[in-house]
Structure 1
Amino acid sequence: MGDTRRIVLLGKTGAGKSNLANTIFGEELFTINHTLNSETKECKAETKSLNGKSITLIDTPGFFDPGRSEEDNKPEILRCLTECAPGPHVFLIVLKVEKFTEHEKAVIAQMCNQFSEDALTYAVVVFTHGDQLPEDMKIEEYVDQSEGLRDLVRKCGGRCHIVDNKYWKKNNEDEYRSNMFQVAELLNTIENIVMENNGGYYTDEKLQALEIKIQNEEECIRQSSLNMAQEEIRQQAKIHVFKKQANNSSLTWIKGFWGLAVIVGLFATITAVIRNLKRYGIARNTTT
């Protein structure tokens, strides 16, 4: 099965992804800025050993928010794919305990477009802001009240959990409303997903291509840095591949822009020539 678990957190801006990552790790490795613009701007990965497993959590910005442009998303999606290559063992779809609106549905649809709907078979729905869950109600009952949530959780194999990043940190009175209990349950669910997939992970052509590039880069680094540890080699390789891919993406955009500029320039030139020919024709007709 291996001892490594790569876990990607996905969700709209403000859902509580960074806080959830800190709650899972039990320490603040992911920065939370308590301001109006506190959302994560860049994809970030941190690794920690939990229950004998090396857990890598990959926190992402609100990739699929309707207000984010494709150009804003491209580098961070690339960074996310590079961090989780050759593929994540689990996706955590992070939602608040609140009404499941068309906005949330659109975010889920965008996720499936990016990773394919097969990714949901590797996914867990994790709700934050557990203090909003009505008393004496479990998250499964809450989900059952919404057709949209029911359908999403069903596609995720019926897997859902809940935490509260603020009020459930030290709750000894109610085991269910305790982050310690919920995180333990979530980690069990993650292990079950890995076992069900025989230690495998979600992957696709993009992730496989990135992994080949990373492995090639690792070999180059290994040959030039004989004393470097494998973990450091891997990290350096991912950084190099990301930079190369990001530069290639920028060059592609520049080439496209330049091509458009050339076309526009040619069109302007042709227009000017036609205008001058018309003027010349008019002037000639006037003199004759």
Structure 2
Amino acid sequence: MTKLGNLIVGQQIHNQSNVGAKQCLAFGGEWSEKTVTVVKTPNMFSLSDEEIQRQVKKCVRLCSPGPNVLLLLVKPSEFTESDRETLMFILSLFGQDAFKHSLIILTNEGEISSSVNELLRLVQVRCYNMNDNDRSLLMKEIENIVEEKKGKSLTFTEETVRFQHKPMKPLNLVLFGRRGPVKTSAAKAILGQIDLPSASSSSECVRNQGEVSGRLVSVVELPALCGKAQQEVMEESFRCISLCDPEGVHAFILVLPVGPLTDDDKGELQTIQDTFSSRVNDFTMILFTVDSNPTAGDVNFIENDRNIQELLQSCGGRYVVLNIKDRQQIPELMESVDKYSDKGFSFSLDMFTRVLMEITLILKLENVEQKSGMKIKDDLESRERPRKETEELKKREEKQNKKYGEEFKALQSKFEQEIKEKDKLMKEFEKIKKELDEEERKWKRDEESQRKHWQQKVGDLQKQVSVERQQKEAAEKKLEESKRERVKEREALEKEKDKIWERMHEELKQNLQEMKMNSEDEPIKALMESHTAKALACGQIASLSELQAEGKQLEMKTTDTGN
């Protein structure tokens, strides 16, 4: 148990004290970035029913609202029928869906017993071998169950416990009749399983199992037998009884819809009675199915239809009307089966063997009668037959019994061979399933590797884009700052230029004023004013020395003119 817990949580769980070994303990871990809680239970097989119930309640509390998956540790070499019954009782405390949430953990490579095979069938062959020591494979199986059940969890309620004072013996039901889909619908309603494979198109018996009201129930759908060859009828009947061994068949149920009977319906019941003898009448009942709650009209039809009443008389008047869409009626059906069954007895394989021997003997005797033209039965009863003929008859009977025994052994060997072939196919299926799971794991590893590779590439590209974007933003920011600085410099230069211009302008004006005041020559004065106006209009800046030089030139020109 500790080894399994270590494998699931992915870390070492320390061994607990003796006190802890007798109590449920919870441990935590992670898988695929999800929290995983593992509840380790004590050895439930050594506890009383009351203590088992108490531990199951505690288990549910430790992983509230309840467990998603039940891991059933089974050691094939030591797993007994008593262990299976105890395990069935434990699972029943979690409700009717417990098997659908279960995964068998095989702790060694021992030979698979019939009890373990029975358990594997109940959980739809979901199992994991501890020798694989593969956490991914184990968690894949667990995730599949969680996904199939859409994350639903199991709970423990008092309603579940009321049936569970002691484990009840399994109940075996055989559904027969001409109408295949009706039988399959009845099987689904009884077991509460909507995904059962259809047996309507099958020529062989189909068995399904489930828990009903805290009890293991096996439902065998028998194909239509009326009109088939005698050998085929015998083989299929033997297969049907063998599927219910060792408990035997507790009830043969003829499944019919509420409505007029057909000759095929009557012929099917007659074939069952001829095959299993009149003893089967003590175990036979009729199940009428409807799609809604039974009405007074349905009951009146059954009670007033002459053909149906004749049919009921042949099986002791036992019948039930069932709404196949109402699960609340199933416990009532189980009570009716218990009530109608022959005081807890069943139609066993040994009983069927004796029936086959009787039928074979009668057929052989009738054949001898026809050939000899004598009534051998009457001769035997009256003891008037000569001793020699009596001994000869005994020899013939022994020979026929020996032949029948050989035929029976051959039939039994054939059935056992079919079981072995099915087991072989199951092993091959498990092998293929394991290979497919390995391929899927490999594909997922490759996919994860590719995903990480591309994630790395995308990350690198995102980093490169981010760096280039930052560089671009920095360059734009620097360019913007440079523009602002140039604008500021240009504005400062303009201001400085304006100040210089204003100052020079003032100086010029002042100098001109002085020159005007000092100059008496009108031409020079006019020229200076013209030059000053021109300079102001063109925005030129003239120095005082330039103006003085031009003034002197004008004076010289004036002197020349005067002369």
User: How many matched pairs?
Assistant: 197
Q: CA deviation at 1:89?
A: 0.9
Cα distance 1:151–1:130, how it changes in 2: closer, same or farther (>3 A)? farther
Partners of 1:10 and 1:131 in 2: CA distance: 22
SS in 1 for 2:297: coil
Aligned counterpart, 2:229: 69
Cα distance 1:209–1:199, how it changes in 2: closer, same or farther (>3 A)? same
Partners of 2:230 and 2:314 in 1: CA distance: 27
Structure exhibiting the larger radius of gyration computed from Cα positions: 2
- Alignment of 1:41 with 2:41, yes or no, is no
Partners of 2:271 and 2:293 in 1: CA distance: 26
- Alignment of 1:103 with 2:264, yes or no, is yes
Q: TM-score, normalised by structure 2?
A: 0.31
Q: CA deviation at 1:18?
A: 1.6
Cα distance 1:182–1:137, how it changes in 2: closer, same or farther (>3 A)? farther
Contact conserved, 1:13 with 1:39, CA < 8 A, in 2? no
With a CA cutoff of 8 Å and minimum separation of 6, indicate the structure with the bigger relative contact order.
Answer: 1
Contact conserved, 2:234 with 2:275, CA < 8 A, in 1? no
- Alignment of 1:150 with 2:309, yes or no, is yes
Partners of 2:223 and 2:330 in 1: CA distance: 22
SS in 2 for 1:163: strand
Which residue, out of 338, 344, 351, partners 1:191?
A: 338
Which residue, out of 276, 281, 299, partners 1:115?
A: 276
Structure 2 counterpart of 1:137, which letter?
Answer: G
Cα distance 1:5–1:242, how it changes in 2: closer, same or farther (>3 A)? farther
Which residue, out of 396, 400, 413, partners 1:244?
A: 413
RMSD of Structure 2 on Structure 1 (CA): 3.3
Q: How does 1:88-99 map to 2 (within 5 A)?
A: 88-99=249-260
Partners of 1:116 and 1:205 in 2: CA distance: 14
Q: CA deviation at 1:209?
A: 7.2
Aligned counterpart, 2:194: 28
Which residue, out of 155, 161, 167, partners 2:320?
A: 161
Q: TM-score, normalised by structure 1?
A: 0.58
Q: Which has the higher helix share?
A: 2
Partners of 2:312 and 2:328 in 1: CA distance: 20
- 1:140-197 per-residue CA deviation (whole Å, 9 max, x = no partner) reads x2212222211222343332223354xxx2xxxxxxxxx2243222111012134xx3
Q: CA deviation at 1:113?
A: 0.3
Contact conserved, 1:15 with 1:95, CA < 8 A, in 2? no
Contact conserved, 1:7 with 1:92, CA < 8 A, in 2? yes
Cα distance 1:247–1:70, how it changes in 2: closer, same or farther (>3 A)? farther
Aligned counterpart, 1:200: 345
Cα distance 1:24–1:245, how it changes in 2: closer, same or farther (>3 A)? same
Partners of 2:181 and 2:281 in 1: CA distance: 18
Contact conserved, 2:318 with 2:340, CA < 8 A, in 1? no
Q: CA deviation at 1:126?
A: 0.5
Identity %: 20
Structure 2 counterpart of 1:5, which letter?
Answer: L
Structure 1 counterpart of 2:336, which letter?
Answer: T
Q: CA deviation at 1:71?
A: 4.8
Contact conserved, 1:130 with 1:162, CA < 8 A, in 2? no
Partners of 2:201 and 2:329 in 1: CA distance: 24
Q: CA deviation at 1:90?
A: 0.9
Q: Return structure 1 stretches of 4+ with deviation > 4 angstroms.
A: 129-133
Task: List runs of 5+ in structure 2 lacking aligned partners.
Answer: 1-166, 356-409, 418-563
Partners of 1:69 and 1:190 in 2: CA distance: 31
Partners of 1:40 and 1:131 in 2: CA distance: 28
Partners of 1:47 and 1:76 in 2: CA distance: 19
Q: How does 1:205-224 map to 2 (within 5 A)?
A: 205=350, 207=352
Task: List runs of 5+ in structure 1 lacking aligned partners.
Answer: 170-178, 211-240, 249-288
Contact conserved, 1:125 with 1:159, CA < 8 A, in 2? yes
Q: CA deviation at 1:2?
A: 5.4
